[in-house]
């Protein structure tokens, strides 16, 4: 499980990147992204692999890091910050959640040190949202995130704003409310996971293209847009999901268009559950393909999306680094 983001010899690294200051890692469940940042937060080098935390044995995180990244850490004043699931119970070391409302300072104060003032894991965040007032067990419902908080603060830094409504689409989408540069609350929508379950493990899969076909990477904009419109006006996904099968049986939509239809239904369902106001700006932080879909869906509802990608993660980690170094 060894990959190299750097040259083998530290001296060669120093020659190639004399101004490198921070090794930033986004270590998730199924993937690992690493970048080398200079003193201005600019990316000097980057690498990604499938070495997520689930591929690393329980006692294997330190040896893995040593094999892949130690060359960068041999230099004076060099620093590594890690975000994501590396701080979970299944990760390198558990970093307790930072409760909301919280800002940048609270997050920085709760770094989990792997090696004092050298290697640290950024804590995730938690919040309590209203549940059933009549229930002693569900009066409040906890929610958590790891990694997205870094993207949120990175987006604030990149866009120069203090108040924002954000969505971070993915397997588990996060909707985040920020006021005065502090995360006030957030909640999770299992949109990506629901799409995968319906696409692969339900009766709907029988009329959809084979998994990993070109249709998985293409978007039929008309089918998608119409499905979003249907979803936001419907009672809910349980009332619309079967249309993905029936429209195929009737020959109304082709198999590839059906996949875009299903995508529009689940994203539309997610938007239906939000309290959105026409004209409101929503910052979208995600992969390009998801940003494209969420941007279209939000615009169709009269909202104003602003999209960011991986740069939000690196901006957030670099800001934490600057705060610590100050």
Kindly report the CATH number assigned to the domain that includes residue 46: 3.30.420.300
Do residues 238 and 262 both lie within one domain? Answer: yes
Question: Is the per-residue pLDDT at 14 higher than 50?
Answer: no
What are the structure tokens assigned to 204, written together?
């709907």
Q: In what order do the strands lie in the sheet with 125-130?
A: 98-99, 125-130, 140-145
CA distance 284 to 286: 6
Determine, yes or no, domain membership for 184.
no
Note the pLDDT tens digit of each residue in 231-273.
999 999 999 999 999 999 999 999 999 999 999 999 999 999 9
Q: Provide the residue range defining the domain that includes 50.
A: 10-158+313-325
What pLDDT does 76 receive? Answer: 64
- Separation of alpha carbons 74 and 192, rounded Å: 40
Residue range 124-167, pLDDT digits in tens? 999 998 888 888 898 899 999 999 999 999 999 999 999 999 99
Do 136 and 276 lie in a common domain? no
For residue 265, give the nearest of 218, 290, 216, 232 by alpha carbon: 232
Q: Are residues 150 and 17 in the same domain?
A: yes
The answer to whether the CB of 264 falls within 8 A of the CB of 243 is no
CATH number reported for the structural domain that contains residue 285 in this entry: 3.30.420.310
State yes or no: pLDDT of 90 exceeds 50.
yes
Pair 140, 230 in one domain: no
Q: Note whether residue 172 is domain-resident.
A: no
- In Å, what is the CA distance from 10 to each residue of 7, 13, 39, 103, 285? 7, 5, 18, 36, 35
Range in 183-197, 205-219, 256-270 the model is least confident about: 205-219
Q: Are residues 115 and 239 in the same domain?
A: no
User: pLDDT of 21-51, one tens digit each?
Assistant: 899 999 999 999 999 999 899 998 888 999 9
**88 in the same domain as 34:** yes
- Regarding whether 129 and 39 lie in a shared domain, the answer is yes
Structurally, the chain folds into a number of domains equal to: 2
Could you identify the residue written with the tokens 């090696």? 115
């Amino acid at each position: 499980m060894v990959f190299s983001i750097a040259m083998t010899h530290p001296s060669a690294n120093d020659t190639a990147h004399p101004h490198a200051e921070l090794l930033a890692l986004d270590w998730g469940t199924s993937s690992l992204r690493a970048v080398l940042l200079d003193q201005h937060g600019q990316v000097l080098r980057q690498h990604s692999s499938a070495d997520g935390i689930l591929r690393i044995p329980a006692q294997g995180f330190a040896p893995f890091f040593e094999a892949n990244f130690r060359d960068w850490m041999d230099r004076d004043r060099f620093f590594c910050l890690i975000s994501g699931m590396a701080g979970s119970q299944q990760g390198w070391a558990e970093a307790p959640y930072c409760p909301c409302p919280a800002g940048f300072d609270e997050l920085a104060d709760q770094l989990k040190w792997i090696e004092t003032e050298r290697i640290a894991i950024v804590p995730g965040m938690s919040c309590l949202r209203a549940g059933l007032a009549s229930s002693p067990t569900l009066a409040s419902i906890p929610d958590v995130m790891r990694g997205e908080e870094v993207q949120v603060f990175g987006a604030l830094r990149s866009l120069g704003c203090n108040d924002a409504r954000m969505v971070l689409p993915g397997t588990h989408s996060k909707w985040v409310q920020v006021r005065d540069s502090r995360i006030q609350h957030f909640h999770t929508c299992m949109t990506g996971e629901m799409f995968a379950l319906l696409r692969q493990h339900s009766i709907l899969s029988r009329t959809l293209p084979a998994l990993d076909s070109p249709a998985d990477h293409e978007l039929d904009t008309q089918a998608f847009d119409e499905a979003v419109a249907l979803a936001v006006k419907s009672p809910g996904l349980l009332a619309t999901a079967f249309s993905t099968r029936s429209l195929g049986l009737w020959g109304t939509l082709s198999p590839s268009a059906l996949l875009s239809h299903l995508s529009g239904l689940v994203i539309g369902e997610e938007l239906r559950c939000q309290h959105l106001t026409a004209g409101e700006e929503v910052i979208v932080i995600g992969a390009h393909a998801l940003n494209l879909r969420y941007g279209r869906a939000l615009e169709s509802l009269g909202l104003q999306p602003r999209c960011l990608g991986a740069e939000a993660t690196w901006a957030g980690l670099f800001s934490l680094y600057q705060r610590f170094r100050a």
